[in-house]
Structure 1
Amino acid sequence: MTRKPVDPKPVYLAVYDTLADWETGHTTAYLARAGHGIRTVGASGDPVRTIGGLRIQPDLTLDDVRPEDAALLILPGADLWDTGDELAPFARTAREFLAAGVPVAAICGATAGLAREGLLDDRAHTSAVSFYLAATGYAGGDRYVDTDAVTDGDLVTAGPTEPVAFAREVLGLLGVYEGEVLDAWYRLFHDSDPGAYEVLEAAGK
């Protein structure tokens, strides 16, 4: 139903307490349908609980993660991004991925974590609102784009209300969908456009 991914390596999904359940579902579901394994990564091997109360047992720990083994690192939002430095190791891991040329996708509070790590200082990016990131004291305010989701090189960012746009950027970046098919996928899930379904059906997606 989907085209074979350019890179079938697994996708790493960071998981931690207070993870925002709604932000990455479209992304991980359609990456999985395209052939990518989804592997959850925790700070330790201990289970975590999402905002919705779901219990997740991490597949891997940060110590197990190597950028060259993965196609992408996804950083969801979580309350913990704004309450201390507990999640800072995940932002440092994002730095390692980007330095190795492996994509990173961050949504909601994870964008603030990247801002604190200095990863948004010289990349176009977005988030919930510009002043949310400004409160981190980062130096990238002039690169903030007031839009639903942004891709700059190997980095995708989005705000908490844009899980479908976030998925669109990731699916496009990894080559799962392209062109009018990618646009139709977005219109179907974001706008409930019945005409978009016809495009996807005609393309065998």
Structure 2
Amino acid sequence: MTRTAHVLLIDQVADWEAGHLLAELNTGRFIGEPWKVISVTASDQPVSTMGGLKWLPDITINDLDPTKGDLLIMPDDVGWHPGQEEPFVSSAKQFLDADAPVAAIWGATEALARAGLLDKRHHTAAAKVALEATGYKGSDRYLDQRAVAADGLLTAGPQSPVQFARATLGMLGLISDEMLEAYEALFHRGDPSAFPVLMSI
């Protein structure tokens, strides 16, 4: 059965942050089988990316069912602030409560912090001070790393789209540690010697 990833979209979503991860899930080129990627928005209207592309939603947030998804992806955009983020954060909590993994990057981590979802989990973000500004109670669990997976929740900062993809694929158990290292070596460090490893699948 084809596995499904839902990606939450608010207007002005950051094109690059989930790009690596979405490409690998949708094509399946390094993980063996492609996933179905479903875009989710607050309404049935398209959203614009920071790069100026128009992204058409597949479903609205009201139709999102955590029991029918294998991963929830939360990229950054300019809309993560109190008032607009609540339905998306509520969906993240529902996924976590259903033991379905969530992957959040940059501004989405701040939204999760405001909701208390990082208080008892190890995590990372753009910077520790950015999360502390939310008033959350989890600063003692902040790790100064590119990406952190803990209790079904993957967090990363905006400077780490490759690590975000690598850590999420690892959290899902989709490829081996050797393949994960080769993935980061090629797409982050530009090491062409890693390409044959990735193509060995």
TM bin, normalised by shorter chain, reads over 0.9
Q: Distance in 1 between matches of 2:182 and 2:96?
A: 29
Give 1 or 2: higher helix fraction: 1
Q: Tell me the secondary structure at the aligned position of residue 134 of structure 2.
A: coil
Aligned to 1:87: 85
Question: Which aligned pairs between 1:1-205 and structure 2 lie closer than 5 A?
Answer: 8-34=2-28, 35-82=34-81, 84-201=82-199, 203-204=200-201
Q: What CA distance in whole angstroms lies between the structure 2 residues aligned with 1:141 and 1:133?
A: 8
For 2:171 and 2:104, the matched residues in 1 are separated by 13
Post-superposition shift, 1:39?
0.5
**Alpha-carbon deviation of 1:198?**
2.4
Hey, what's the Cα distance between the residues in 2 that align with 1:150 and 1:188? 20
Runs of 4+ in 1 over 6 A off after TM superposition: none
CA contact (8 A) 1:31 1:176 kept: no
The CA RMSD measured in Å over matched residues stands at 1.2
How many residue pairs get aligned? The number is: 196
8 Å CA contact 1:8–1:71 kept in 2: the answer is no
* Contact 1:14/1:42 (<8 A) preserved: yes
CA contact (8 A) 1:184 1:196 kept: yes
**Partner secondary structure for residue 157 of structure 1:** strand
Extract unaligned runs of 5+ from structure 2.
Answer: 29-33
CA distance in 2, matches of 1:73, 1:157: 12
The letter of the residue matching 1:13 is V
What SS does structure 1 have at the residue aligned with 2:174?
coil
Task: State how far apart, in whole Å, the 2-side matches of 1:21 and 1:175 are.
Answer: 25
Percent identical pairs in the alignment equals 46
Moved more, 131-140 or 47-56: 47-56
Is the 1:128–1:160 Cα contact (8 Å) retained in structure 2? yes
Q: Structure 1: 5+ residue runs without aligned partners? A: 1-6
Counterpart amino acid of residue 48 in structure 1: V
Structure 2 partner of 1:3: none
Query: Which whole-Å CA distance do the structure 2 matches of 1:26 and 1:129 have between them?
Result: 22
**Contact 1:9/1:69, CA 8 A, preserved across alignment:** no
